[in-house]
Amino acid sequence: MSALFEFLLRQGDNTLVLGHRTSEWCGTAPALEEDIALANTALDLIGQTQLWLGYAAQVEDKGRSANDLAFLRDVYDFKNVLMLETPNHDFGRTIMRQFLFDAFQVHWLTALTDSKDSHISEIAIKSVKEAKYHLERSRDTVIALGDGTEKSNVIMQSALEYLWPYAREIMSDDAVDEEIASLEIAPLPSTIHESWLQIVEPTMRDACLKIPDSNFVHNGGKTGLRHTEHLGHMLATMQVLQRSYPGVTW
């Protein structure tokens, strides 16, 4: 598997898995405005997935399409970070997960707009516009709920504590990242950490939330080595149609 293909799968699987998770809220969000916002965010993420996995399929050049990559791969072929496959649990955790991802994604996609690979830079220019207003909403909502009632503060604090050990996997480097960086296709993900913190820390302060002390990071999603048990359940739902009726179209 080429480093470029692997890199593209990581980008596309992140947006696919978070997009699918977010779409699970459709019709059941706590308020109409939030229902619409979640559905639209999911839609943007799935749209970005089509671009990333479409390019991945083209780079792989084995006759697979973006749809094949999304619906016909199994758990250990997925390269999304673990945080994005964690269950929604409640609205607080969903929005905290979105914020921790958006704060990375805005800086990351901005960096990718300078990629030596012109197709990646085009996808990044398109996607970063969407990531910016996702961040605007997720940051405002995290602050509103953290600095809301006593109960909403407790929920947001527990969401932050649950997600914190997962949040920085996306900024850990491995051999694929090194190779991609040496080709000037993308910077090392770890170089985003500082600017990520510059969004996360003030937001948590405004939200009256305390960032956990721990530096422990759960790894294994982006390499595909060790996914959580949740991804298999999610894929069972997401892929059911293609698994039950292979090749079905409408």
Residues that bind other proteins (CB under 8 A): 33-34, 36-37, 40-48, 50-51, 118, 122-123, 125-127, 129-130, 133, 136-137, 140
Instruction: Count CB atoms within 10 A of the CB of residue 175.
Output: 10
**What is the smallest separation between the CB atom of 212 and other proteins, expressed in angstroms?**
28
**What is the smallest separation between the CB atom of 166 and other proteins, expressed in angstroms?**
25
Q: Please, which residue, 82 or 120, has the CB nearer to other proteins?
A: 120
Q: Please, which residue, 40 or 158, has the CB nearer to other proteins?
A: 40
Q: Please, which residue, 118 or 249, has the CB nearer to other proteins?
A: 118
Q: Please, which residue, 23 or 152, has the CB nearer to other proteins?
A: 23
**What is the smallest separation between the CB atom of 22 and other proteins, expressed in angstroms?**
11
**What is the smallest separation between the CB atom of 66 and other proteins, expressed in angstroms?**
12
**What is the smallest separation between the CB atom of 77 and other proteins, expressed in angstroms?**
23
Q: Please, which residue, 4 or 16, has the CB nearer to other proteins?
A: 16
